[in-house]
Structure 1
């Protein structure tokens, strides 16, 4: 399985991993050419007999098609491994740790979105219905009161009351008999005091969905033991999966209304 640069503590093992994944002999010559060096020098780097310069590392970033964040991380790995003193290595390690910590914060991974005023956030996250009705309006076949009521098994009065509030804060807009989405998304950071209620609302809905599980639904629960380093690795992969799923959802045609929840937590009290 291909690994990301963020899973490595030193640049040479990652460099070796990427070249081996691409086929060492051909890729070694190609990356050497891109860096303006001989293939034998790349071999010396891989054998830990030489270091990449920052200029060569920058060329490697281009060859490896790194993103901006990957490029930044790779350059810092190179600088840390090239550092001649313990204090300088610790300095770059701190910078690397800051990047890794930022990647573990979901809000930073996915980007910030527009925010409601506090009183409206409190209302929005007090129950599952505001967000469900809000997202339902993104589906063309669910943009009337009656259709939303039928889909979510709510009374017309409840749907109307919720839609009116959503409209008053700009989250939906009314066009004739239909309601269309306003703001595209609302996201809570893990430091928000609304996050516990938000997670609770949707996990209660997930529990209810167990009684009517359909073929296109998925529920998984498992208790496992694993190493501390793999805990970090799995969390990072889950966050990356969420990011990729949201990218798919962003470009997906609005036809179905689903809830996505993921739980991965420490059982020790």
Structure 2
């Protein structure tokens, strides 16, 4: 759900809550704890006529894991609701429309320019090797088929074919003789049939690593019984962790490779 779909911050937040498991049962309480306010106040804001202060709105954006542009847009919606005159509301409404249009154009452009086709996805997700070679090639010490094939213990001609595919489709680019990650995105949604294949590919690699005595690796299995509220809290904490991971990983220097697998499910 995108914040840009809405022109009212309350409508956005309430839709976000309803999209959560069990329609967000207990979410007002968790938000009140995060903002250090009472649950009654949260209810008065999102079910009544009370408005958020800009300070609390900023904290809420952090809780919702909105990025910088999304946060600015959300705060603009709050200002619009708090505006005390029609003149100010009209000016803020114009800014809201401009930001929405800008975000929509950027989203459409990026989607058009950086997404793989269905046929390309079928090839890329057919084996872990494609994403493995892509990620490894972004590291300084593995910039050709020879070094990559040695590291992954794969035939050099196979690695070269995969590199050709990755370069041809923008998943890798070559600058000044060095391989770097390209702009093309490899993300697939949870409803895509290839998602299961992607998970299976990397889970199998995890199984293979379990038999190796390597202190860099960490494997954990912990079946447990717990309350429904705590189970939902853990699921959200894991989601928050993933958001934090992908905020710090892209800007960091490619020096080593890791695979993150997290399993959290009802059984």
TM-score range, shorter chain: 0.5 to 0.7
C-alpha spacing 1:160/1:13, structure 2 compared with 1 (3 Å):
closer
- Relative to the length of structure 1, the TM-score reads 0.63
| Larger CA Rg, structure 1 vs 2 | 1
* SS of equivalent residue, structure 1 residue 212: coil
- Relative to the length of structure 2, the TM-score reads 0.63
C-alpha spacing 1:59/1:192, structure 2 compared with 1 (3 Å):
same
Cα distance between partner residues in 2 of 1:151 and 1:168 = 23
Gaps of 5+ in 1: 1-5, 21-44, 76-111
C-alpha spacing 1:10/1:151, structure 2 compared with 1 (3 Å):
closer
Cα distance between partner residues in 2 of 1:119 and 1:47 = 52
1:61 matched residue in structure 2: 56
Q: Is the 8 A contact 1:8 1:14 kept in 2?
A: no
Q: Is the 8 A contact 1:143 1:178 kept in 2?
A: yes
1:52-201 equivalent positions in 2, closer than 5 A: 54=49, 56-59=51-54, 61-62=56-57, 65-67=59-61, 70=64, 114-174=114-174, 178-183=178-183, 185-201=185-201
C-alpha spacing 1:55/1:143, structure 2 compared with 1 (3 Å):
same
Cα distance between partner residues in 1 of 2:146 and 2:135 = 16
Gaps of 5+ in 2: 1-16, 18-23, 65-70, 78-110
Cα offset, 1:195, TM superposition:
0.7
Cα distance between partner residues in 2 of 1:120 and 1:47 = 51
Number of residue equivalences: 201
Task: State yes or no: 1:230 paired with 2:225.
Answer: no
Cα distance between partner residues in 2 of 1:51 and 1:192 = 39
Q: Which moved more, 1:212-221 or 1:182-191?
A: 182-191
How far does the alpha carbon of each residue in 1:187-224 deviate from its partner, in whole angstroms, 9 at most, with x for none? Answer: 11100010111011000000001122421211101111
Q: Is the 8 A contact 1:173 1:180 kept in 2?
A: yes
* SS of equivalent residue, structure 1 residue 140: coil
